[in-house]
A and B are shown apart, each in its own frame.
Chain A
Amino acid sequence: MFDVNNIRKDFPILSRTVNGNPLVYFDNAATSQTPNQVIEVIADYYRNYNSNIHRGVHTLSQEATDAYEAARNKIKTHFNAAKAYEIILTSGTTHSINIVASGYSEILEEGDELIVSAMEHHSNIVPWQMLCERTGAILKVIPITQSGVLEMNVFEALLSEKTKLVFVNHVSNALGTVNPIAEIITKAHSVGAKVLIDGAQASPHIKADVQALDIDYYVTSAHKLCGPTGVGMLYGKEELLNTLPPYQGGGEMIAEVTFEKTTYADLPHKFEAGTPNIAGGIAFGAALDYMNGIGFESVAAYEHELLEYATSKLKEIEGLKIYGEAPQKTAVVSFNINEIHPYDIGSILDKLGIAVRTGHHCAQPVMDFYKIPGTVRASFSFYNTKEEIDLMIIALNRAIQMLQ
């Protein structure tokens, strides 16, 4: 039974104050808070079995290796990958995307085409632009409508046998739009293109089944779903990951090293050079356990309720405009009030203990599309409440009074 008051007890940070007010944390799309269950796993690792993994013969190393590989298995099960070694543990979404983008520099040829959406985070734009500069491939963009939905007919028109890769986010960080990835994947596959889905914003809310959706690459970060920062994953189909060259050289990723020739290790180690974020990886698994314990269906239903409530309350504020009103949205509201600069609103809200994001949200093309410098973004999680939304509305009205 979903009980938000019980859930809040798991998050020690939620009981702190900010500038003399109880913290209201509405910057969940930037990073989520961490429950005791995950904090304890990290502390337990450093207290009891901290050691380097995969090579040590001693007990601590074996315990740490077992825990790390158990976490990989949890991630595999969560996303329903066919094999645990198709899950590459990385430092986060950006790292994951760069592994794929860098790998394709040896696969693409001049004139090949890549398709990106206009609502991507910079981390799902810039690595591909760099790839295009290196290879002479061409980047095409799927535009969005005023309500913040992809123009799927344009996408279809952009697809051709020249298309090698399509990369879109599952959910937009700036607008909250849930993209029709099943349809995108089917259509991309019909011309032989591979698809990378940026799941950073989706994975706290939606459980993606990589096999059912026939996803080629899926990437996300643990810190968006109650895990620690500095750890994330790249899922890739085995045959695809095998064709990609290693991203970084170093320890862990080799089979044999001589000065004449080095051979690379098998998956997943080929992409895991150096000592990984061991505690982070183990805690990633614990975060998934925690989220699955609550249940993604309950989370989605409750967050949707928060979204509807916040949207209707915000719309009562005169001059408030919401950016991104797709029919399928996660619990994110991006808005501006009249001509007030988002930075001003964010600063006043902070004084009142309310954490929101302001600015371009690392999605400048989206801001350019709406011809605005940025927005205020409130993003909700399953541990937020309607009472907190009421506090934000009161704070916004005070901000308007001061700033107009």
Chain B
Amino acid sequence: MSIQDIQEEIIEEFAMFDDWMQRYEYMIELGKSLPLIDEQFKTDDNIIKGCQSKVWVHAELNSDQLEFTADSDAIITKGIIAILIRTFSNQHPKDILAADTAFIDQIGLKEHLSPTRANGLVSMIKQIKMYAIAFQTQLK
């Protein structure tokens, strides 16, 4: 599936809910299926700066696709990173770099896009794209 197809799938899933509470509960559920980062990569270097909670993200290249694993000590944050990883995992670095993230707004999680230092969605996306840049150079 392309990144755009996955994003549309997520938008459809979230469209089933009428209120924020159901959306948050679903996001928390999604957090439980997050592909967890291996303990050895849960290092300070892998912590994403700019989040009030701790978020670790790790990436590995699998032939020409990037595979992400992550974790967080806050469960809402875990849900957010799970949504991002579902979108970007097993994709080619160049597609990750080209992708936009406006779908976050469409699934009713707009508040997480604000550049306040407390929530780190913007930093998470930046970090994922940094991995894509780094691995794209390797692929060349």
* Interface residues, chain A, with chain B CB atoms under 8 Å away: 19, 341-344, 346-348, 350-351, 358-359, 373-374, 402-403
Whole-angstrom distance between the Cβ of B44 and the nearest chain A Cβ? 14
CB distance from A115 to the nearest CB of B (A): 31
Q: Chain B, 43-79, contact with A by CB distance < 8 Å: what is the 0/1 string?
A: 0000000001110000000000000000001111100
Contact segment of B8-16, B21-29, B99-107, B124-132:
B21-29
* A19 x B20 contact (CB < 8 A): yes
Chain A residues closer than 8 Å to B52, beta-carbon distance:
342-343, 358-359, 374
The minimal Cβ–Cβ distance linking A84 to chain B, given in whole angstroms, is 38
Report A398 CB to chain B, min CB distance, Å: 8
A403 to B28, CA, bound (A): 8
Which residues of B have CB within 8 Å of A341? 53, 73-75, 77
Docked complex: B75-132 residues within 8 A CB-CB of A: 75-77, 111, 118-119
State which of B24, B53, B74, B119 has its C-beta within 8 Å of the C-beta of A351.
Answer: B24
Question: Once bound together, how far apart are the Cα atoms of A343 and B52, in whole Å?
Answer: 7
Q: A358-B52, A358-B118, A373-B53 are in contact. Are A343 and B21 (CB under 8 A)?
A: no
Expressed in whole angstroms, the minimum distance between the Cβ of B109 and any Cβ of chain A is 10
- Interface contact B24-A343, CB-CB below 8 Å: no
- If A402-B28, A403-B28 are given as contacts, then 4 extra A-B residue pairs at C-beta distance below 8 Å, sorted by A number, are A341-B73, A342-B52, A343-B53, A344-B77
CB-based contact A359/B21 at 8 Å: no
SS class of chain A's interface: helix, strand, loop or mixed? helix
B residues with CB within 8 A of A: 20-21, 24-25, 28, 52-54, 73-77, 111, 118-119
Known: A359-B118, A373-B54. A343 touches B77 (CB 8 A): yes
How far apart are A367's CB and chain B's nearest CB, in angstroms? 12
* Most chain B C-beta atoms within 10 Å of own C-beta, residue among A347, A350, A351: A347
A366 to B52, CA, bound (A): 16
> A374's closest neighbor in chain B, by CB?
B52
**Which of A19, A344, A402 is the one whose CB lies under 8 Å from B74?**
A344
Q: In the assembled complex, how far is the CB of residue B75 from the closest CB belonging to chain A, in whole angstroms? A: 6
A346 CB to nearest B CB, Å: 8
Contact B28 A373 (CB under 8 A): no
Q: Give chain B residues whose Cβ lies under 8 Å from the Cβ of A344.
A: 53, 74-77
Q: A343-B77, A344-B76 are in contact. Are A402 and B53 (CB under 8 A)?
A: no
For residue A343, which residues in chain B have a CB less than 8 angstroms away from its CB? 52-53, 74, 76-77, 118-119
Shortest B48–chain A CB gap in Å is: 13
Distance in angstroms between the alpha carbons of A347 and B21 in the assembled complex: 11
Q: Which residues of A contact B111 (CB under 8 A)?
A: 350
Q: Give 12 CB contacts A-B under 8 Å.
A: A19-B20, A341-B53, A341-B73, A341-B77, A342-B52, A343-B53, A344-B76, A350-B111, A351-B20, A351-B21, A359-B52, A402-B28
What residues on A are CB-neighbors of B75 within 8 Å?
A: 341, 344, 403
Query: Across the interface, do B24 and A348 meet the contact criterion of CB distance under 8 Å?
Result: yes
Docked complex Cα distance between A374 and B53 (Å): 9
Residue of chain A at shortest CB distance from B73? A341
Complex CA distance for A19 and B109, rounded to whole angstroms: 12
Q: How far is the CA of A350 from the CA of B52 in the complex (A)?
A: 15
Bound-state Cα–Cα, A347 to B53, Å = 12
Residues of chain B contacted by A374 (CB below 8 angstroms): 52
- Give every chain A residue within 8 A of B24 (Cβ-Cβ): 347-348, 351, 402
Closest to B23 in A: A351
Note all chain A residues with C-beta closer than 8 A to B21: 351, 402
The residue on B at minimum CB distance from A360 is B52
In Å, the complex CA distance between A344 and B52 comes to 10
Q: Which 6 A-B pairs have the closest CB atoms?
A: A341-B74, A343-B53, A343-B74, A343-B52, A359-B52, A344-B74
Q: Which A residues lie within 8 Å of B74 (CB)? A: 341, 343-344
Least distance between B63 CB and chain A CB atoms (Å): 36
